[in-house]
Amino acid sequence: MIVITTTSAEAFDEETRSRFVQLSMNESIEQTRIILSQQRHQHSLSGVLEKAESEEIKRLHHHAQRMLKPLAVVNPFVEHLTYPSERLIHRREQRKYLSLINSIALLHQYQREIKTAKRGEIEIEYVEVELSDIALANELAEEILGKAMDELAPPVRGMFEAIREACKRRAEELKIKACDVQLTRREIRETTAWSDWQVRMYCQKLVEMEYLWAIQAVNGKPSVYQLASDAESEVQSLRGLTGVDELKTRLKDAAKEKAASR
């Protein structure tokens, strides 16, 4: 299932975000420049040819998808896999990880032996997961599933990074700490080129999560924001996945234990 939503309050809810593999828009000024440049390029001869090539590639992919058989996928290594368990959200995130491994294996079905299994009247055809599937899944999971480890939604994280960079630049000019710099919403809008609605909503969330302090207005002056800390705020990475080398070691140890018990 694919769900497309605008940037709304629901996008900030961690529980809601955990239900999907989230793909968010890059709202930076640099990305806008890249998009505008690409739009101009599309009207050149090279751009027209590239569009035709792209359509051909999409047709090829559609044909390849139609060739895939609805086979079951069996993971013979699943008992040796691990996943982070520190947070409640990981109960749902592990399903995504296992599905990612299965999807990679399914896409390679024409390079795999199709096996059959029968229990009573039920018979299934399946392909097995290989170590290369897990290696690729681990690589992709860091980028795709690792975003779920961030307590901030991607657009809010982007706003915070932009504010932090602005505070650093101002701090260097004034010879003060970055956390002592105060910015109004107008200054943040000018720095990020984002709308007033975005700045108000995202700053409110950053204050609630204690990434920013909001200093209330007095004597008719506008409210200002400042960093809650000078410390770098790093997104928690996806730690705890079993690497292929470690998996091979576990398989060898399991084989030795099995042989010794005979």
What is the average pLDDT across 111-116?
A: 95
Rounded distance, CA 91 to CA 96, Å? 10
Overall pTM surpassing 0.75 (yes/no): no
Rounded distance, CA 8 to CA 114, Å? 45
Is residue 18 scored above 70 in pLDDT? Answer: no
pLDDT in tens, 144-197: 777 767 788 888 888 899 999 999 999 999 999 999 999 999 999 998 888 898
Burial of 98 (0-12, 13-18, 19+ CB in 10 A): middle
User: Which of 163, 134, 156, 140 shows the shortest CA–CA distance to 75?
Assistant: 134
Angle between helices 244-260 and 131-144 (to 10 degrees): 140
Looking at residue 14, what is its pLDDT? Answer: 65
Structural domain spans, the chain: 29-150, 154-227
Looking at residue 153, what is its pLDDT? Answer: 81
Q: What's the half-sphere exposure (Cβ side, CA atoms, 13 Å) at 11? A: 19
User: Which of 223, 203, 204 shows the shortest CA–CA distance to 163?
Assistant: 203
Is residue 237 scored above 70 in pLDDT? Answer: no
CATH C-level class of 154-227:
mainly alpha
